[in-house]
Structure 1
Amino acid sequence: MRSALTFLTAFGALAGAALVGAAPAGAVQSSTRLAPGVTYRQFDIQGAKGPTHAHVVTVDLRNHHVRLGLLYPGAVAARAPVSQLADTQGALAGVNGDFFNITETQHPGVEATGSTDGPAVAHGHVLKAAVPDGQRFGPALPPGTSTRDVLGVGTDHRARLDNMTLSGSIRTPAGRLPLRGFNQYALPEGAIGAFTSDWGSVSRVRATCGTDSDRAAPCSTDTYEVTVRGGRVVAASDSPGTGAIAKGTTVLVGREAGAQRLRKFFKGEPVKVTHGLVAAHSRIPYSFALGGYPVLKGGKPLGGLDDATAAVRTAVGIADGGRRVFLLALDGAPEYRKGLTIAEVAAAMRSLGSVDAFSLDGGGSTTLVARAPGASSVTVRNHPSGDAERPVPNGIGVFSGS
């Protein structure tokens, strides 16, 4: 791979846009201000496989009228186009988010959940935890990374990379059981997971399919489900169910050893379920977080990044101690569709000024939207490689206002 990417002269400049800011790698850049603290720009990049085109939204979090937040359709197991998510939530700009469970061809008859691989936090509220590494839908992870890796913004208004692990328990008069899953499409073998109203109405069967090392392994034949409402068991079933879960209700799903433990529960038994995400590197609570995987830390690319497979990509960069964020999406138009390798993405983010960078879902999911000054809705700025927006389960939104 080339030691550095070549950024070519800015292409497709916005009409009337002023030339502002420092251009990466000496490129001439065209940029337009979407709002105070938020700019949009686009430029060509020459990768090893050919030219590609980048769209970047730069966010200055030192401006306290600007914030980042999770875009999602109101349920973990649901999807919508990025433009719809942004307009519904009033975002100024946004990109697609985490890798997700898009198909279940290896499990005939099992519904794909549309749920993401990694953790998710919205407005400080924990939506879900991470699936086991061996169950993730996305490409192979770089060495030293996991499905628990997140990019988030703390209540201190700073962006950072972190790792978030589920912490929870199920308490009954007979003792305490560990909670090993929360609103996630795959549970560890022998585990019990909890599902709440945040999950949505999609079937919970997928949570009992695959193994910790093989997502294509058959679904478990030893499952059990218990419904808890008002702190007591109100129903039970031999198989995971479907349909919306009422607020204040928790559905416990067990497989193998977890199912055997749930079978000992009885109707009316008092049960208390607790859950949360514990951050490995920060004591600052997160206002929002989502999964993916790091490609750049401390200004250095991670070891073992793929330098052979090029594709259309989405990534996020962090600079200035978490006060500046770059949202990058490559263009999926036919002339640019070869894209970049992950190693090239790390180099591109570093050229933009990022100290840390994080890869999000790419390919047909890659989408960047932005609302022009005075416009009532966002427009898609890149060309999705599938020639139309792909519905996705979450993304990063840029919000501006008091």
Structure 2
Amino acid sequence: MSSRSGTARAFLAALAVPLFLVLLSPAAVAGVLDVPAAETSRSQPVAPGVVLTSTEVPEGSDGAATRQHFGVLSADLGGGAAVGYADPGAVSAAAPLPQLIRPHDSAVAAVNGDYFDITASSAPLGAAVRDGRVVKSPTGTHENAAVFTADGTGSIGRARFTGTVTLAGAAVPLDRLNSHEIPDDGIGAFTSDWGTHPRERATLGADRVTELEVRGGTVRDVREKPGDGAIAPDTTVLVGVDAAADRLEEVGVGDAVAVGYGLTADGVRPHTAIGGRHVLLRGGRVTAPAGDTSRHPRTAIGFSADGRRMFLATADGRTAGTPGVTLRDMAGRLLRAGATDALELDGGGSSTLLAREPGAAAPTVWNRTGGLFRAVPNGLVVLAPPGSGRVRGVWVRPRIESRPPPGSAVPRQADPHRVFSGLRRALTAATHDENHGPVRHPPRPESLRWSASGGAVSGGRDVRYTAGAPGAATVTARWGPVHGAVELEVLPGPARLAAAPASLAFPDASGAARMALTGVAPDGSRAPVEPDDVVLDFDPELVDVAPRPDGTLRVAPRTDRGAGGIAVSVSGSHGTVRTTVPVRIGTVTEQVAGFDDAERWTASAVRGEASVRAVPDRSGEGRALALAYDFTSGQGTRAAYAHPPSPIRLDREAFGFGLRVRGDGRGARITLSLVDAEGRGHTLRGPEVDWTGWRRVEFDVPPAAHPLTLTRIYAYETSPERAYGGELVFDDLTAVLAVEE
């Protein structure tokens, strides 16, 4: 084996990396708050009266196995911050949250909002009020909402929609406004706020439908079928189903029709409102469902007892080391932050928290859900007045981001505000104005003057702090009379070195992986180890290892098949510590289920029916698994599941799966459900079964913590307009696995 040794310093020094602009005023320097349960919290200003606090709660036996990560944005609603409703311009539309807030020039923060009709219209389920105008009524029992009065006070209330339609002098109830669902024998109204989604979606299951187009208080058209397309600003479309359809059918073109409606929440007429699901806190008491132990990314909103302080909170999930939190975890976090009342907003892949860093021009994402931005129908945006644009402070922080970027497989890193004695930490700084906003003419990074207590600072654009003796250290950056500082904790050691991931496997010479190094102090405290301080030893014919400015190492295979390791060593105040990361390149395909045990598989269903049975396989000599399903009932997503006798656990990294499927041509979609080593669920979606006869279906595996466990195979349908049944047959489930060592 040939080897290559040396430090990563020369490589990083050659990189021309611009300073990452971030900020903080001298009076609001991020500090560490040591709280019970080994929590670590850090706060930073966003705007006057608006502060973002990031909290990490270790859950493993040594504080490292898994972690909860919360972001709580606190806003003083009486101190200059205001809250607005953000949407893509139509109720039946969705867009990523950064796109929703673009029209709001003074946006400094935002969160995603309500649950929504995700498989069809994208319409939110709850109430929506924008600038005092009712945009949407609650759908069904989805009545809880966060509401804001005209003076900015916030609260959690139950939204009540009332409306009437006056026909020939008689008033009848109006049940819904811009909703994807109209109740039995009810009437729904649609305005220009609705968008272009077909209104027929709201009438599924109805025997009779009548639609009236009303403009200027006069009926302009009567239709037997709901239409689609944009609605003019001065027009209201009324849709009646069954008994209400009969009533509307009595009206003719030219008749007078009056429509009136309004919305209140606990007797208050909101200026802004957005729907949510479970009430998490009420009067300082936790009301979140005790029986829900599922862990996911979360979003929630809370208010202080007087309604003058708002808390927007998210919890990370579905990322390496951070599986997510329960609703009661979320309630407890908001209670500790100071909220007495709180409401669950949409979580999972929808969960998004945006916040402006000091000196930045626009908010950036702060939470992680394991994927890229999901399109959502609405959100709340925090607005703050702009500042002067003159330099009034300096924000200093470590360059390493402990959070991986959205959708990235980069491992989460330890707290970069900790550094080991004798090792280095890359720092960055940016200037900001008195409102923590951007500076019109920022000084050049090299014009900042740096100093440190308990260590040394070097560099101009590429700033490095070298830690001195263990204890607290302050690093300060100055520009004329303006300055800012960051507090760092210097740890002794490290006594141990760990890599994440602890081993690497590649299917071939394509692709690459990212690896983060963490040192462990004698007392168990952890801190990132930067490539600057690393000595590497590896076979350059097997892999290439290069440092990244974000504090990770990029590992790329150089051959299609092979095995070896990357030796890593770091010298600190406790001597030299080492670790070796095994590397395997190449794959082997192995059968993981032949379905000879098909009679022991079981079935379940959501909004449908399902059953399984053993049938002859393709050759007629063995067994296969038949999954029969009925999707003729229910309007939402319907699924039919096949469960193995026990979960199928793989012993190595998996890059893909293959499954032979005898199709029925009905169009259901085939899916595999997996759980990774950290308990996170992964859904591997296959194609729609638009074929008959046997076909091989392939599934790619997303970034995950290996080994994986297969929990079920299933078929599903999302389109509410499609109702059918059928039978699929499965045989020869294989996995593409990493080669053995």
Instruction: State the TM bucket, normalised to the shorter chain.
Output: 0.7 to 0.9
Given the alignment of the two structures, is residue 73 of structure 1 paired with residue 88 of structure 2, yes or no?
Answer: yes
Name the counterpart of 1:107.
none
Given the alignment of the two structures, is residue 19 of structure 1 paired with residue 54 of structure 2, yes or no?
Answer: no
Given the alignment of the two structures, is residue 34 of structure 1 paired with residue 46 of structure 2, yes or no?
Answer: yes
Name the counterpart of 1:214.
none
1:322 and 1:131, CA in 2 relative to 1: closer, same or farther beyond 3 A?
same
Q: In structure 2, the residue corresponding to 1:207 is in which secondary structure?
A: helix
One-letter amino acid of the counterpart of residue 81, structure 1: P
1:78 and 1:183, CA in 2 relative to 1: closer, same or farther beyond 3 A?
same
Aligned-residue offset at 1:376 = 2.5
Taking the aligned partners of 1:23 and 1:89, their CA distance within structure 2 comes to: 37
Given the alignment of the two structures, is residue 157 of structure 1 paired with residue 157 of structure 2, yes or no?
Answer: no
One-letter amino acid of the counterpart of residue 231, structure 1: G
1:374 and 1:19, CA in 2 relative to 1: closer, same or farther beyond 3 A?
closer
The number of equivalent residue pairs is 355
Given the alignment of the two structures, is residue 394 of structure 1 paired with residue 394 of structure 2, yes or no?
Answer: no
> What pairs up with 1:170-319 in 2 under 5 angstroms?
170-209=165-204, 219-280=205-266, 282-283=267-268, 285-293=269-277, 294-302=279-287, 304-319=289-304
Taking the aligned partners of 1:370 and 1:287, their CA distance within structure 2 comes to: 23
Aligned equivalent of 1:116, options 114, 117, 124: 124
Aligned-residue offset at 1:156 = 2.7
Aligned equivalent of 2:364, options 376, 379, 393: 379
Q: In structure 2, the residue corresponding to 1:343 is in which secondary structure?
A: helix
1:269 and 1:335, CA in 2 relative to 1: closer, same or farther beyond 3 A?
same
Deviations 1:191-212 (A, max 9, x none): 0110001111111111112xxx
One-letter amino acid of the counterpart of residue 79, structure 1: A
One-letter amino acid of the counterpart of residue 126, structure 1: V
1:371, 1:379 within 8 Å by CA — same for their partners in 2? yes
Taking the aligned partners of 2:249 and 2:30, their CA distance within structure 1 comes to: 66
Aligned-residue offset at 1:314 = 0.4
TM-score (normalizing by structure 1): 0.83
Taking the aligned partners of 1:377 and 1:279, their CA distance within structure 2 comes to: 32
Aligned-residue offset at 1:295 = 1.0
Name the counterpart of 1:132.
140
What percent identity do the matched residue pairs reach? 36
Taking the aligned partners of 1:303 and 1:93, their CA distance within structure 2 comes to: 26
Name the counterpart of 1:102.
118
Taking the aligned partners of 2:33 and 2:77, their CA distance within structure 1 comes to: 18
Q: In structure 1, the residue corresponding to 2:103 is in which secondary structure?
A: helix
Taking the aligned partners of 1:24 and 1:258, their CA distance within structure 2 comes to: 59
Q: In structure 2, the residue corresponding to 1:186 is in which secondary structure?
A: coil
One-letter amino acid of the counterpart of residue 93, structure 1: A
Name the counterpart of 1:334.
319
One-letter amino acid of the counterpart of residue 139, structure 2: V
Aligned-residue offset at 1:229 = 0.6
1:152, 1:162 within 8 Å by CA — same for their partners in 2? yes
One-letter amino acid of the counterpart of residue 94, structure 1: A
| RMSD (Å), alpha carbons | 2.2
Aligned-residue offset at 1:288 = 0.6
1:25, 1:351 within 8 Å by CA — same for their partners in 2? no
Tell me which structure has the larger Cα radius of gyration: 2
One-letter amino acid of the counterpart of residue 250, structure 2: K
Q: In structure 1, the residue corresponding to 2:101 is in which secondary structure?
A: helix
One-letter amino acid of the counterpart of residue 128, structure 2: A
Bigger share in helix: 1
Deviations 1:250-297 (A, max 9, x none): 0000111111111111000000000111322x43x3221111131110
Aligned-residue offset at 1:173 = 2.0
1:273 and 1:30, CA in 2 relative to 1: closer, same or farther beyond 3 A?
same
TM-score (normalizing by structure 2): 0.46
Aligned-residue offset at 1:129 = 0.3
Aligned-residue offset at 1:28 = 4.2
Taking the aligned partners of 1:229 and 1:164, their CA distance within structure 2 comes to: 28
Taking the aligned partners of 2:290 and 2:90, their CA distance within structure 1 comes to: 33
1:223, 1:255 within 8 Å by CA — same for their partners in 2? yes
Taking the aligned partners of 2:150 and 2:251, their CA distance within structure 1 comes to: 39
Q: In structure 2, the residue corresponding to 1:364 is in which secondary structure?
A: helix
Taking the aligned partners of 2:223 and 2:365, their CA distance within structure 1 comes to: 45
Taking the aligned partners of 1:126 and 1:193, their CA distance within structure 2 comes to: 14
2:76, 2:310 within 8 Å by CA — same for their partners in 1? yes
Taking the aligned partners of 2:183 and 2:35, their CA distance within structure 1 comes to: 44
One-letter amino acid of the counterpart of residue 179, structure 1: L
1:69, 1:287 within 8 Å by CA — same for their partners in 2? no
Name the counterpart of 1:108.
none
Aligned-residue offset at 1:375 = 2.3
1:50, 1:339 within 8 Å by CA — same for their partners in 2? no
Q: In structure 1, the residue corresponding to 2:325 is in which secondary structure?
A: coil
1:167, 1:276 within 8 Å by CA — same for their partners in 2? yes
Deviations 1:62-97 (A, max 9, x none): 20x211111111111111111111223232110100
One-letter amino acid of the counterpart of residue 161, structure 2: L
Q: In structure 2, the residue corresponding to 1:54 is in which secondary structure?
A: strand
Taking the aligned partners of 2:306 and 2:375, their CA distance within structure 1 comes to: 33
Aligned-residue offset at 1:389 = 0.3
1:400 and 1:336, CA in 2 relative to 1: closer, same or farther beyond 3 A?
farther
One-letter amino acid of the counterpart of residue 323, structure 2: K
> What pairs up with 1:49-60 in 2 under 5 angstroms?
50-60=66-76
User: Structure 2, unaligned stretches of length 5 or more?
Assistant: 1-21, 387-741
2:319, 2:369 within 8 Å by CA — same for their partners in 1? no
Deviations 1:1-34 (A, max 9, x none): xxxxxxxxxxxxx776723697775844211111
2:314, 2:367 within 8 Å by CA — same for their partners in 1? yes
Taking the aligned partners of 2:96 and 2:125, their CA distance within structure 1 comes to: 18
Name the counterpart of 2:545.
none
The structure whose RCO (Cα within 8 Å, separation 6+) is larger is 1
Q: In structure 1, the residue corresponding to 2:181 is in which secondary structure?
A: coil
1:188 and 1:125, CA in 2 relative to 1: closer, same or farther beyond 3 A?
same
Bigger share in strand: 2
